[in-house]
Structure formats: C-alpha cells, structure tokens
Amino acid sequence: MVLTFSAVLIFGVALAALLKSRALGGGSAFVAVMFGFFLAATGAAPVITEFVTNVAHALNTIGH
C-alpha cells in the first residue's frame, strides 16, 4: 500500500506540533508561514520543488 502526503500537510503538521510544544511562538509561526508563502511566488519555487521531489524519490528507493 502506497501513501502519498502533500508537503503542505507534512509541514503544516510539523508547524502545529512546534506551536503546541511551545518550541515556536505565534509570531515566529506567522513569519515562517509568510516566508513560505512569498517564497512560493519566486523563481526559486520550481528548484525547491524539484529538490524535494528528488529527495522523496531517493528515500522511496532506499525504502524498497
């Protein structure tokens, strides 16, 4: 069985966990979300997406 998770879901859960454990304050979380939002609108977004995709494929290959 193959499970597929969105990077947005994974990072959202991680951000929520950091907020709940108080390792990250509300202001810091807001800055992190805004940074990600504006980063997605830059020319770096396709490069980052390709990198994350390649890492995910590599990890998937190692697991099989």
Q: pTM of the predicted model, to two decimals?
A: 0.60
Q: Please indicate whether residue 1 or residue 34 has the higher confidence score (pLDDT).
A: 34
Instruction: Give the length of the chain.
Output: 64
Task: Look at residue 54 in the predicted model and tell me its pLDDT.
Answer: 92
Residues 6+ apart with CB under 8 A from 36: 11
Distance of CA 39 to the CA centre of its chain: 12
Q: Whose structure tokens read 């108080």?
A: 22
Q: Is pLDDT of 16 > 50?
A: yes
